[in-house]
Amino acid sequence: MRLSFAISLSPTKFSAISSDNWKKSLTLMKKLGFAGVELGIRDPLAVDSTDLQLTLRKNDLQLVAIGTGQAYVDEGLSLSDPNPGIRKKAVSRMKKQVDLAAQFKCYVIIGLIRGTLAGAAAERKRRINSLAGKMQELSAYAKRKKVKLLIEPLNRYETNIMNTAAETVAFIKRHKLDNCYLLLDTFHMNIEEKDLFKTVSLFGSRVGHIHIADSNRLYPGAGHLDFIKIMKAIKKTGYKGYLSGEYQPLPDAQTAMKKYINYMRGV
């Protein structure tokens, strides 16, 4: 399993990743020995992909995945918004993310961009069905571009749509989203899963990517998660992908990144 780290390409309100100068971060990542990087991107049209390609190559880093939640946090776009105009904007933004991902052969993550549901049960059901339709459209679009989508179960304080791995896999199966895979995040799992280790072994074959953060959303070792046991469970599934550090850049972004690589090499 290779190590990557999640950073933002531009300033964002999303607190779980660093928005320090991305080129400086990539230089440090190369120095520390990371194999890949995960980039939070608000608007892919604002990205100079040639410059990005050259900078990645210079630092021997692979772009592993694109995080898309900033369009929700910073602009209020969501795939399940009651307003059809906003839903449409969210879909077209996500298609642009897929176009960018196609150039780098990386994943696109569906996290906060799915939004959250309010209102009565009937209204929620309508919006879930509408979300499923949008997901089918995106999944098919991405498949044509040979890009895989990742759906990340998120904890209940951030959304009420797909909190657990079981709910997420059920959603994928029910709506025949055969181009969508599971992104497991140890921070969210610690809040939502009855048994984190069992979840890993149960859904391992469906996992495309993994986020690592401790119980308090800080660097691993700062909280109370048992990463030795977690790594054993992941290894057992035959997972060959990346382990991406994704958590609050504290006490500062550089220290948080150094702590990650040191700790993960230890476990």
Can you list the alpha helix ranges (DSSP code H) found in the chain? Answer: 22-32, 49-58, 70-73, 84-104, 121-144, 165-174, 186-192, 196-203, 227-236, 253-266
Residue 217 within binding range of Mn ion, rule CB under 5 A:
no
Pick one of 87, 93, 209, 211: the residue that binds Mn ion (CB under 5 A).
211
- Work out how close the CB of 52 gets to Mn ion at its nearest, in angstroms, rounded to a whole number: 21
| Nearest to Mn ion of 185, 193 (CB atom) | 185
| Nearest to Mn ion of 26, 65 (CB atom) | 65
- Given a contact cutoff of 8 angstroms between Cβ atoms, the answer to whether 185 and 246 are in contact is yes
| CA proximity to 105, closest of 135, 139, 69, 145 | 145
Out of 38, 152, 192, 193, pick the active-site residue: 152
Distance from C-alpha of 76 to C-alpha of 32, rounded to nearest angstrom: 35
246 in catalytic set = yes
Residue 87 within binding range of Mn ion, rule CB under 5 A:
no
| CA proximity to 69, closest of 38, 105, 48 | 38
Distance from C-alpha of 59 to C-alpha of 61, rounded to nearest angstrom: 5
152 in catalytic set = yes
Residue 185 within binding range of Mn ion, rule CB under 5 A:
yes
| Nearest to Mn ion of 87, 184 (CB atom) | 184
**# residues near Mn ion by CB under 5 A:** 3
Instruction: Tell me the catalytic residues.
Output: 152, 246
Would you tell me which residues interact with Mn ion (CB under 5 A)? Answer: 185, 211, 246
